[in-house]
Amino acid sequence: MRGMYDLHTHSILSDGELLPTELIRRMAVLGYTTVAITDHVDLSNAKSVLASLEPVRESAELYGVRLLCGVEITHVPPAQIAALAKTVQANGADIVVVHGETTVEPVAQGTNHAACSCKYVNILAHPGLVTPEDAKLAAANGIALEITARGGHNRTNGHVARIARKTGCQLVVDSDTHAPHDIPDKRAKFTIAKGAGLTDTECKKVLSLNIDRLLGS
């Protein structure tokens, strides 16, 4: 890989420990060239989070990192997900992540389906026991399913990988970083993908994605 990506990280703008710029710097040192900061949002803070991130783009560029200013729509009722995703895109979000139905949090049933049905969503994060039907919807809408490094959320990585392979849905491998020790280096990132049950060839392919193509830009 010429450079690494991470499309799901958090800063002090939600529940992360690091300023956006420190997060970017730490990831740059480990070889990341594309980083999405996707702090938790609902209807109360989505616009303000995006506005706070925008000035950090120049700092990221100076560290050799392409910053994607994004959000993770979190615990929002399924019926409101599509409208909020559309709103954040209209307000400049480069990437829209939805907090999926992980098995370790009380995410509302139907969240995965709402996300996979929405053309304004890019990634369904830690989608738990995602169904083949929802994965097919995600594939049709160009939405990727996430293999995650995050403890607890990663319990279903093997299931997610199998469903993605079966349905032709794109996978991404993200850290869901909240603190410095959460950021995986190149070797760890490969191990996360391999541990989910991907072959070496599949690992290399998913870890060297064309991010512009994934985001439709």
pLDDT of residue 81: 98
Q: What's the structural domain count of the chain? A: 1
pLDDT of residue 1: 38
User: 180: domain CATH number?
Assistant: 3.20.20.140
Range of the domain at 69: 4-215
146-192 pLDDT per residue, tens: 999 999 999 999 999 999 999 999 999 999 999 999 999 999 999 99
| pTM exceeds cut of 0.75 | yes
12-50 pLDDT per residue, tens: 999 999 999 999 999 999 999 999 999 999 999 999 999
60-111 pLDDT per residue, tens: 999 999 999 999 999 999 999 999 999 999 999 999 999 999 999 999 999 9
Mean pLDDT value of segment 115-142: 98
Residue 151, CA distances (Å) to 104, 110, 195, 205 in order: 10, 23, 13, 24
CB proximity list for 30: less than 8 A, separation 6 or greater: 4, 183, 184, 185, 186
Sign of CA dihedral 2, 8, 14, 15: negative
pLDDT of residue 217: 65
